[in-house]
Amino acid sequence: MANTNYAPLLDAALLEPETTLAQLRQLCDEAKANGYAAVAVMPSRVRDAAAFLAGSPVKVDAAIGFPFGMTTPAAKAFEAAEAIDNGAAEIDMVINIGKLKDGNDGAVYEDMRAVVTAVKAKGDYIVKAILETGLLTEDEIVRASRLADQAGMDFVKTSTGFRGEGATVPILALMREHTSARVQLKASGQVRTYEKAAAFTHAGCTRLGTSAKSARAIAEAASKKGVE
């Protein structure tokens, strides 16, 4: 029998600049009720989310260098370490897309490695690399996936959901092909329905990044289907 409850794989996000405290509280309440994996927030909301989720297994996931990835490695490393100190248990960082397109793989690696080093110095916390695959060629996706693996990232993630095309099964397959078994996959962008959640999970994803609204829809659909 296939488990149709994808709620435990969901990282439900509220990353828009106009997000209010009331909206964040509502999402955290839904995350606890539905059993989401994490609530993804901007760094300035980490303390608030941690307070709302206190005592629950739902984690706070901080978005770093978001959404463009163009801050310096030192800035990203500081932002990530501060987020951990403020209550985050997971970090999703946007890689330096421009440097990747320059062919400067060394700079892309150092950018990711700086964040991994800063976070792992705090403890066994999860770090995910957002590749923004909708803006990349196939060759760039391959290079970015390999660099993320080499840098010690725990996950490679397709996109922010703010730029370009989101996750697709072929892109996830390409990422899987060029990372070691240690590295997990996270689909983000286009994870809006129960059917998409199922497709991406079958493609090997162990996390699904989605909006608060889409997370709610997926959880509701799963509750109706139960276990088939």
The CATH number of the domain holding residue 98 is 3.20.20.70
In a domain? residue 19: yes
Do 105 and 95 touch, CB atoms closer than 8 A?
A: no
Q: What is the pLDDT of residue 226?
A: 58
In a domain? residue 58: yes
pLDDT tens column, 171-200: 999 999 999 999 999 999 989 999 999 999
The active-site residue, picked from 61, 92, 111, 149, is: 92
- Predicted model pTM: 0.94
Pairing of strands 90-94, 126-130: parallel
The active-site residue, picked from 76, 99, 128, 186, is: 186
Q: In the structure, what pLDDT confidence band is assigned to residue 214 with cuts at 50, 70 and 90? A: very high
In a domain? residue 20: yes
The active-site residue, picked from 76, 99, 157, 196, is: 157
224 Cβ contact partners less than 8 Å away, ≥ 6 residues apart = none
Do 173 and 196 touch, CB atoms closer than 8 A?
A: no
pLDDT tens column, 39-55: 999 999 999 999 999 99
Task: Give catalytic status of residue 11 as yes or no.
Answer: no
Q: What is the pLDDT of residue 219?
A: 85
How many structural domains are present in the chain? Answer: 1
pLDDT tens column, 17-26: 999 999 999 9
205 is written with which tokens?
């994803």
47 is written with which tokens?
């303390």
pLDDT tens column, 93-114: 999 999 999 999 999 999 999 9
pLDDT, averaged across the chain: 94
Q: Which domain holds residue 57?
A: 14-32+41-182
In a domain? residue 132: yes
Task: Give catalytic status of residue 186 as yes or no.
Answer: yes
Whether the predicted pLDDT of 228 surpasses 50: no
Q: Is 39 helix (H, G, I), strand (E, B) or coil?
A: strand
In a domain? residue 65: yes
In a domain? residue 214: no
